[in-house]
């Protein structure tokens, strides 16, 4: 059986399985044996050569914050994975870390994107303050007036948006916010409206995630990646 590794950024095993949202069941439905792992809190992560696909999820942290004790090991892991040719999908923070590992940079975006955003390929959930640059040799797939939204380099795909979104995923995010962060976000974003749209778009979002992940899996089997 093919093996997929999902990297999350939470030491709590109960939360780890919730964070990948609709990505995890799609991989399982495609025939992958899925393992969850984390570099946070000293977690053990397998050799990237021992898995067939890697997905790196989001994080509340910044992918340029080199004071994070687990970031350097994660970047080293991603460099090893891409050097070995293990197809890697990075989502939000994961896309930013993937960009860094491939020679790109990450910094503050001109403005945050929080909530569903219309891109050329559809309406996708965004929740980020930072943005990645296009790594050397990569192909730009999607961009809006805020940031690069997707790139591909060989079998590797970096996304700034969250195809995995569900109401439970959003609850994982918000439950991890400090009171100060929660108050600051609530002052700027109508979180009830975001939750309502997640519910309204649940079926559409799940289908879009399935199509995106299935396309990535199929195309990385043949060596190419298309626009999400």
CA-based angle 194:199:205, to the nearest 5?
95
Confidence at residue 126, expressed as pLDDT on a 0 to 100 scale: 98
Is 225 a member of any domain? Answer: no
Instruction: Render pLDDT for 153-169 as a digit per residue (tens, 0 to 9).
Output: 999 999 999 999 999 99
Separation of alpha carbons 40 and 16, rounded Å: 11
**Torsion angle defined by CA atoms of residues 66, 143, 98 and 162, in that order, rounded to the nearest 10 degrees:** 90
Confidence at residue 51, expressed as pLDDT on a 0 to 100 scale: 96
Is 42 a member of any domain? Answer: yes
Instruction: Render pLDDT for 18-36 as a digit per residue (tens, 0 to 9).
Output: 999 999 999 999 999 999 9
Query: In this model, does residue 223 exceed pLDDT 70?
Result: no
**Torsion angle defined by CA atoms of residues 212, 214, 217 and 218, in that order, rounded to the nearest 10 degrees:** -110
Provide the CATH number for the domain around residue 170.
3.40.50.880
What average pLDDT does range 117-140 have in this prediction? 97
Please count the structural domains in the chain.
1
- Residue 203, classified by CB atoms within 10 Å of its CB into exposed (0-12), middle (13-18) or buried (19+), is exposed
**Torsion angle defined by CA atoms of residues 193, 61, 136 and 36, in that order, rounded to the nearest 10 degrees:** -90
Is 36 a member of any domain? Answer: yes
This prediction has a pTM of 0.95
Query: In this model, does residue 224 exceed pLDDT 70?
Result: no
Instruction: Render pLDDT for 31-80 as a digit per residue (tens, 0 to 9).
Output: 999 999 999 987 789 999 999 999 999 999 999 999 999 999 999 999 99
Is 191 a member of any domain? Answer: yes
- Decide: 93 and 126 in contact? Cβ < 8 Å: no
């Amino acid at each position: 059986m093919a093996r997929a590794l999902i990297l999350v950024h939470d030491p709590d095993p109960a939360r780890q399985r919730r964070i990948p949202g609709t990505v995890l069941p799609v991989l399982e439905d495609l025939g992958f044996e899925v393992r969850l792992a984390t570099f946070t809190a000293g977690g053990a992560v397998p050799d990237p050569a021992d898995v067939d696909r890697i997905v790196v999820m989001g994080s509340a942290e910044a992918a340029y914050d080199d004071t994070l004790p687990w970031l350097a090991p994660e970047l080293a892991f991603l460099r090893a994975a891409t050097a070995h040719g293990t197809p890697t999908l990075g989502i939000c923070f994961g896309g930013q870390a993937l960009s860094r590992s491939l020679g790109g940079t990450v910094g503050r975006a001109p403005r945050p994107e929080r909530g569903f955003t219309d891109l050329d390929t559809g309406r996708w959930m965004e929740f980020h303050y930072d943005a990645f640059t296009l790594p050397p040799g990569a192909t730009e797939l999607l961009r809006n007036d805020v940031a690069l939204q997707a790139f591909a380099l060989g079998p590797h795909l970096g996304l700034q948006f969250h195809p995995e979104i569900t109401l439970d995923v959003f609850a994982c995010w918000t439950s991890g916010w400090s009171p100060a962060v929660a108050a600051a976000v609530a002052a700027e974003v109508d979180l009830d409206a975001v939750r309502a749209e997640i519910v309204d778009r649940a079926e559409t979002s799940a289908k879009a995630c399935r199509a995106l992940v299935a396309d990535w899996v199929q195309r990385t089997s043949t060596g190419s990646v298309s626009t999400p």
